[in-house]
Amino acid sequence: MTALLAIDGVSKSFGALRVINDLTLSLQPGEALGIIGPNGAGKTTMFNLISGNVTPGQGTVHFKGQNISHWSPAQRCRAGIGRTYQIPHPFGGMTVYENLLVGAIYGAHHAERAAGRLAMNLLDLTGLAPKADKLAGGLPLLDRKRLELARALATEPKLLLLDEIGGGLTEHEVHELIGIIKTIRAQGTAIIWIEHVVHALMAVVDRLAVINFGVLLAEGEPAAVMAAPEVQAVYLGVEAA
Amino acid sequence: MRAKLLSPKAFQIYGLALLVVLMVVAASQPWWARRYTEQWTTEFLYTLALAQAWNLLAGYGGLLSVGQQAFIGVGAYMVVALGLLAGWNPFLTIPVAGLVCVVLAIPMAALLFRLKGANFAVGTWVAAEVLRLLVSNIDAVNGGSGISITPTLIGMPIWWRMSETLWIALALGVGGMAMVYGLLRTRLGLALTAVRDSEPAAASLGVSVSRMKWAVYLVAALWAGMTGALIFITKLRVAPDAAFSIDWMTTTFFVTVIGGIGTVEGPLIGTAVFFALRALLADYGSWYLIALGLVAIIFMLFIPQGIAGVLKTLTGSNLFPTQRHAPKVAS
């Protein structure tokens, strides 16, 4: 079986700072991978390399067997990579519903009517349906995070990148989020999820990877990875500081 | 819920009815108005045309150009080249001037789009200055001293000249507004509004941001080029310093910012306010400019959404609604 996503020997530097160093990682269709690591470890840069917001200095990114290393973010979205941003970027002057239409029409190539149906289904799934006609700029944080997720889903991704979507949420809200993400998984969408809320990750992912200083520190079965001494030392050590 | 001044529906109906009346009043002026009034209306309409084009470019496309005078100037000089030198009817040069500007905009965009933010803004200005200097060195158009285009209008009755100017200005001003509004109601408008609100998010949802920028840059060049040609037909004399002047942009910024950038009705409202202020303050000399500057600063600091934004909050409605409503689903 060919991997859905294959990151091969990728490095990225900003000036003298090497943010990602010779990273190799792959993902099977439908798989869910969790990413943890201290702040500044290069997790978001890794996402930007997958979604096309930055291009690799060295190495390649393959998606569904195609080399996408130099594709634009829009091309990658249309190929099936959806992403959320850690800091939500709503289209503030558009309604919540229209925010989803953009993804459904431009990302998933739907006609306006079909896009509208898809948008409404996703608003139901994410609990935003009562606010469909509200301007996205006026939403509180939780709803903004939900909108990031709903909008990315509107592009009908094969691979969904979630960047700290649970950050800043209450325990109850995180619980709801886990339910939504499990539903998405059940529909066969592969997921890579960066999260500091480790128990949320453990409830969803098949595999866990730890990144530190742009290097893959450990990778494998979630419980085993969390128990590994080098992870305990680096990850939890930083956490406790 | 808070009581609104007017119901959204009533606001739209009254607003649109008022617009239609104003258009009829403007278009019929050759039969009843004095020349001075007709000139004033023409100036109002071409100012609106410039503001609409820049609003599309900066308000929706996020391209903060301060160099649209490049196209105004090239448009003006097409009247000289085709009208004066080649002997065309000057009014026929207007569409051609627009097309020439589109062709010119292609290499300009290829260069300027490599620049971001403030660098892009400065780059557009530099490009306009380069064109001004180039034209200043062409002897056939009298270089930097400029040239009169009056010979192109010889034999044309003044009534007909003024009427035609007014109607073309109406087509460019109101047509520009209709074009922007029409565009926003299509699928393309959805993408354009998304780009206005967040470029990275639009790109991540499959919108080709660079394609959108190209499209608005070319349309804005077309509109500025045609409007530039028209403006200088009314002025009868074309000189590089006047045609490629940054003053065209300062008026455009003022009008768009106080009216409401990134809205359809903003440029119209802003143009009306600008002309009202000019009429009120005309006798105060340089105080007039200081007052305009103060108004602009107050708006930028405290009312960045412009008058259109304030009206929207008061009435809960837009004169030109572009919003798509969520379908009601039976659950």
Residues in chain B within 8 Å Cβ distance of A161: none
Residue range A158-187: mean pLDDT, rounded: 91
**Tens of pLDDT along B139-180?**
999 988 999 999 999 889 999 999 999 999 999 999 999 999
Q: pLDDT at position A237, please? A: 61
Residues in chain A within 8 Å Cβ distance of B194: 91, 94, 102
- All domains in chain A, ordered by first residue: 9-80+157-241 (3.40.50.300), 89-155 (no CATH)
- Sequence ranges of the domains in chain B: 49-243, 246-318
What residues 182-201 of chain B have any CB closer than 8 A to a CB of chain A?
Answer: 187, 190-191, 193-194, 196-198, 200-201
This prediction's pTM: 0.89
How far is A8 from chain B, CA to nearest CA, in Å?
22
**Tens of pLDDT along A101-147?**
999 999 999 999 999 999 999 999 999 999 999 999 999 988 999 99
Whether B209 and A105 lie within 8 Å, measured CB to CB? no
ipTM of the complex: 0.92
Structure confidence at residue B7 as a pLDDT band (50, 70, 90): confident
Local structure of A168: helix, strand or coil: coil
Structure confidence at residue A166 as a pLDDT band (50, 70, 90): confident
| A132 lies within 8 A of chain B by CB | yes
Across the interface, of A95, A120, A123, the residue whose CB is closest to B323 is A95
Q: pLDDT at position B330, please? A: 44
